[in-house]
Amino acid sequence: MYSLEQSIQLAKEFLGKEYFSNLNLSFKHVDEKEILNIRKTQNDIVIEYGEVASLFFSLSLIKQNFKKENYEINLKRHFSTNGLMHDCSRNGPLNIKQAKQMIMVLALFGLNRFMLYTEDVYEIEGEPFFGYLRGRYTKEELKDLNDYALSFGVELVPCIQTLSHLYHALKWGIYDPVRDTWNTLLANEPKTYELIDKMLSTCEEVFTSKNIHIGMDEAFDICSGPFIWKNKVIDKKEAFLSHLNKVVELCQKHHFKPMMWCDMFFKLECRKSEEYLNWYAFKGKLSEETKQMIPDVGLVYWDYYHNESEIYNNLFDACLDTKKEVLFADGSLTWSGFAPNIVQSMENSTCGLKSAIKKHVKNVFITSWGDNGNECSAVACYPTMALHSLYEFYGSANEAKLSRLLKTVTGDSLKLWALLQEPNHLRKEQIAFENLSRVFFYQDVLLGVAERKVKLEYSDRFVEITKQLKAASHKSEKFGYVYKSLQLLSDFLINKSTLGLRLRNAYKEKNINELHGFLSEIKLCQKKLSKFLEAYREQWDKENKPFGFDILDGRIGFLNNRLNTAYIRLKDYLDGKIKSIPELEQKILKWHDSTEDDPTYIGNWTELASVNGY
């Protein structure tokens, strides 16, 4: 068990004990949960707090104002719950030390909820293949995290999947009886509900929270497999709502209050229109028939990509019209590759939080997804945490306040944190949500599938970014390792980003002298790649369990082998062993029919590494 006093000491050490050494702190709990009052008279400080997480935020404010002799701060919370959902299912489950740091940082921002997104990455008694070799959390680990979080006033909330996004479990033959498709459970099957009952039993045993997130999102393929020939009714909406009601009944059996992603209601409502493909374009309200079939479940409206208030307002209105509890989730945009998109996250989240406050939505959280490999550092979500903190206690934010709070809690200013996104910001006019660094990192040097996106001046831009990140790696006391790994990524991309284009051009022009020079440059790329891998492995080991790194080892090994093949093929050509390099003679077509200047985001590694696999 962890005590409040122990956690206060740990928080002081994280912030810097010198900021509290000569102070007499007095804590007073009050009944009003939203209250936080801090009054300093010389060396005496009295803190009145309603939420334990507010107490920890007071420590951050005390550090922030440590030079002032006397002051009084009176704040009120705008939300009932505010926190983070971190993806532990797409490689990279957080190790326990890192999870505890994130809990502490949440509390120091005054946020009071931590949601571990675990599709199959948690132990279920009698289900050895559930999370098998994936770094699943044991019951003991989860109980330990739960107790640690409670001591910081943070509610650890289980987040599981009870319909789709269960590929990693369903790939094992033992789950054939409950599999409808590669990704989705078989609805209306008794054995499916036996498995879900086991999921909920584990969660009831290890978590003290009575809230649970049951997923239910993006179940596009429900009723697409054995369901069709096992059931007479194949209406997707009816099947989805029937399944949902059964899951909610099981939640109630285990004393849980469930919440779920709301997107499927809108997708099924408008599945015969264009709005099925873009549910954010939905206008109006759900039908009375649909609303009546929604059980007692919280609806989580998730939106990571928009900065138009009209979209948020419309969908909040549609969710609120159901008369169910409505929650909001924005995104830290950490799933674009090794580098995050911090500024775009801030812009979109700001719009969403303003709308949530306007619509009196009282429960919000950040999502930190790890799509396609979980390549980004876990701590890249800290700036979005700081933004949520300001909206929690002040109802607004600006760049100066955000930077000051980030500097107080993490030691790094917003300007420094924003450098993490620079490997994706190569243009003079920045375009929202690009992941050019990932595109150029993985793109095959011979096949060049996205080569039309390359500009020769990007090499110079990566020189500049490398210098900035190197300076940041020395400046950041706690997170220098993150800047270092991206510094070495950028250093590799000084050469690699334009290598394929330059090689293809020289080959077409039959510039033999230039082609000879590429032999040494390819070897240089391989050396730089090795240095990046070493730094990236250090980052991974600091933050994650070892499970899942096999994917990154494989991808980077694949890249290194392809560089080696490019070297061999080029040398054989220059030595006269082969008469041509057919790969370099192919015309490179437009990627997804886009122009060179359109926004570039490619999420799937396989699309970049090769067009020949599946």
Please state, in angstroms and rounded to a whole number, the distance separating the CA atoms of residues 231 and 223.
Answer: 9
31 domain residue, yes or no: no
Overall domain count for the chain: 2
Of the listed ranges 296-310, 375-389, 527-541, 597-611, the least confidently predicted one is: 597-611
User: By C-alpha distance, which of 428, 357, 430, 434 is closest to 390?
Assistant: 357
Does any domain span residue 570?
yes
Among residues 553, 552, 119, 115, which one has the least CA distance to residue 375? 552
Q: What is the pLDDT of residue 614?
A: 61
CA pair distance 373, 536, nearest whole angstrom: 13
pLDDT value, residue 226: 85
Last residue of a domain, one of 389, 410, 431: 410
Which pLDDT belongs to residue 294?
94
Give the least confident one: 18-32, 103-117, 178-192, 587-601: 587-601
Q: Which of 97-106, 240-249, 561-570, 584-593 is least confident? A: 584-593
Whether 316 and 456 share a structural domain: no
Contact call for residues 409 and 403 (beta carbons, < 8 A): no
Q: Are residues 389 and 473 in the same domain?
A: no
CA–CA gap between residue 205 and residue 208 (Å, rounded):
8
Residue 122 reports pLDDT greater than 60: yes
Last-in-domain residue among 379, 410, 441: 410
Please report which residue ranges of 284-330 form alpha helices under DSSP H. 288-293, 309-320
Q: At what angle do helices 190-206 and 236-253 cross, to 10 degrees?
A: 40
Structural domain includes residue 321:
yes
DSSP string, 57-73: HHHHHHHHTTT-SEEEE
DSSP state of 286: -
Question: From its phi and psi, is residue 308 left (phi > 0), alpha (psi between -120 and 50) or beta?
Answer: beta
Say what the pLDDT of residue 24 is: 97
Q: How confident is the model at residue 273 (pLDDT cuts 50, 70, 90)?
A: low
Is residue 277 scored above 70 in pLDDT?
no
Residue partners of 88: CB distance under 8 A and separation at least 6: 94, 116, 117, 118, 121, 135, 137, 370
Is the residue at 415 inside a domain? no
Whether residue 429 lies inside any domain: the answer is: yes
Kindly report the CATH number assigned to the domain that includes residue 188: 3.20.20.80
pLDDT tens digits along 442-452: 999 999 999 99
- 353 and 310 together in one domain: yes
Number of Cβ atoms within 10 Å of the Cβ of 20: 20
The C-alpha atoms of residue 55 and residue 28 are separated, in whole angstroms, by 9
Are the C-beta atoms of residues 304 and 330 closer than 8 Å to each other? yes
Q: State which of 410, 438, 458 marks the end of a domain.
A: 410
DSSP at 598: S
Mean of per-residue pLDDT scores for the chain:
95
Same-domain pairing of 188 and 108:
yes
* Same domain assignment for residues 403 and 468: no
Residue range of the domain that includes 287: 81-410
Amino acid at 345: S
Examine the pLDDT at 432 and tell me if it is beyond 80.
no
Do 496 and 384 fall into the same domain?
Answer: no
C-alpha separations of 311 from 139, 225, 279, 302, 303 in Å: 41, 34, 10, 12, 9
Asked if residue 330 belongs to a domain, the reply is yes
The pLDDT value given to residue 423: 96
Give the DSSP H/E element, type plus range, for residue 356.
helix 342-358
**E strand or H helix at 139, and its extent?**
helix 139-151
Q: What is the largest CA-CA distance in the chain?
A: 84
Res 275: pLDDT: 56
Per-residue confidence at 590, pLDDT binned at 50, 70, 90? confident
